[in-house]
Chain A
């Protein structure tokens, strides 16, 4: 059974989230502000944290920074719309994903599932995302058991996305891992390669979904 920590200043929101999560078998603890949230995180050792960005006092971003000083517990950001820059900041500080308020329960639960899946394990030389299989040992990709010809850059790119399958990856995170900050206008190269990858993945493969102003998400179809 997973333990979830809800850090949100709205009591009603906490109560509802508790009901939703408990009905899914989660053990739930909650905190009404950032300071308490940090204490709860230390005492309760949750498996996943739901963190509201709009906290009074110690803000969501600061809570996240303090959390990341000592734990990699998966963190799901809850935020309202039009906070793209803050969302990106949170993601780059180590948040795992976000949902935008008002959110659907199904979406929330799906995101929670994805971010709790063990992050990429180095024990296996294979990454599987839907019909796509990446063999890291031989740098080979197959789509529905048919070989998929990819350039080295495309392979590096799909690897980053597949490692985080179902999760958002910010543009910066992708560029750091694929280009290591060596391209003059990496955004341009990124778009071009995404475009080529999409064509190669076709209709049957996983979809690379863009979230404007934030980044990309590989969705297993």
Chain B
């Protein structure tokens, strides 16, 4: 304790500096510490919904991406108990939607899948929901497959905060939550989404994918075949990707 400097907190016993206004996640990323997350991207306003970044702060459960860092805070992150919690949350996300990795073009590039491996998930564990969700193939360059959506709201925020548009919104309640398109017909083809928008690329799963570009990178050479999801710059790396890193 006595070695704590001003504006520092500890994560799993490691002293980490922070500056005013930073969240626990900001401080951790800056220090190269990985806190698992799905709905967070450093350049967007935090959402705090996926709860993968759940940490225990002085014994209380907090979302690292939204909770402000403060002096002397003791954060438990990489513990067996939290790994178990996060694995359960990933399993819950899998059974809630319709995730068929072998047929999904996102396999190997999918953060949900990568987190499953990272957390030692071996099965979906819970009874699957098999929801009926609409596919929207109306856009010339992009496809919206809601079966794979995890309600992280990254496309909603990217469109509003980076692209200066308002293409997506989360709708419905409870288990009926779903992403909708802000256009007169509710169809993606009717919206002003452009294939170069960040919202078109930011999906951590395979819910928004480019058309006409299937399986260009062979399995075995995809993002998470070459990197682990725990590499702290992976979020930034994915965020700026407009074409595949192999190209």
Bind each other: no
Question: Measuring CB to CB, which residues of chain A are less than 8 angstroms from any residue of chain B?
Answer: none
